[in-house]
């Protein structure tokens, strides 16, 4: 390792870590998600990666043709949607605050990025 490498290496690590935090600031947990309608009737159940922001809002993204995404976008999802989210030992209960239907990535040409995903965000209730 040259003298300049020794100076640059820690800096590069710091830059990389800062970049990784900026790109993926949320913890992702594999969780069992149950969606309930406004009458607390169970409607959909699945396992997915759930993003957590320090205790408060949780969100997950699904392909738009996933049955749960179709239900969330459909007419019969009613006014209120609740979710119970179980990851390991904890059970979290939230109410839907936002759904976004958007391409999964930034490139206009690539098939993967143009696949649409639904992101649903819930806040603790
Ligand atoms: Zn792409």
Domains in the chain (CATH in brackets) are 26-124 (2.30.110.10)
Neighbours of 83 (CB within 10 A): 22
> Cα separation of 122 and 36, whole Å?
12
Q: For residue 22, report the distance from its CA to the centre of ligand 1, in Å.
A: 19
For residue 115, the CA-to-ligand 1 centroid distance in Å is 9
Q: How confident is the model at residue 116 (pLDDT cuts 50, 70, 90)?
A: very high
pLDDT in tens, 12-63: 566 555 555 555 556 788 999 999 999 999 999 999 999 987 767 899 999 9
60 sits in which H/E element: strand 58-63
Q: What is the pLDDT of residue 53?
A: 78
pLDDT averaged over the chain? 82
Per-residue pLDDT, 23: 52
Q: Which residues line ion ligand 1, judged by CB < 5 Å?
A: 105, 107, 110, 113
Distance, CA of 42 to CA of 118 (rounded, Å): 20
């Amino acid at each position: 390792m040259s003298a300049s490498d020794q100076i640059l290496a820690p800096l590069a690590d710091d830059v990389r870590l800062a970049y990784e935090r900026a790109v993926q600031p949320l913890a992702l947990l594999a969780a069992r998600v149950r969606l309930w309608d406004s009458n607390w009737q169970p409607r959909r159940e699945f396992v997915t990666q759930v993003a957590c922001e320090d205790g408060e809002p949780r969100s997950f993204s699904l392909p738009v043709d996933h049955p749960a995404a179709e239900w969330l976008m459909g007419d019969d999802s009613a006014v209120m949607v609740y979710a119970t989210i179980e990851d390991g030992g904890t059970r979290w209960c939230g109410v839907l605050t936002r759904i976004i239907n958007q391409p999964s990535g930034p490139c206009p040409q690539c098939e993967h990025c143009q696949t649409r995903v639904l992101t649903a965000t819930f806040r603790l209730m």
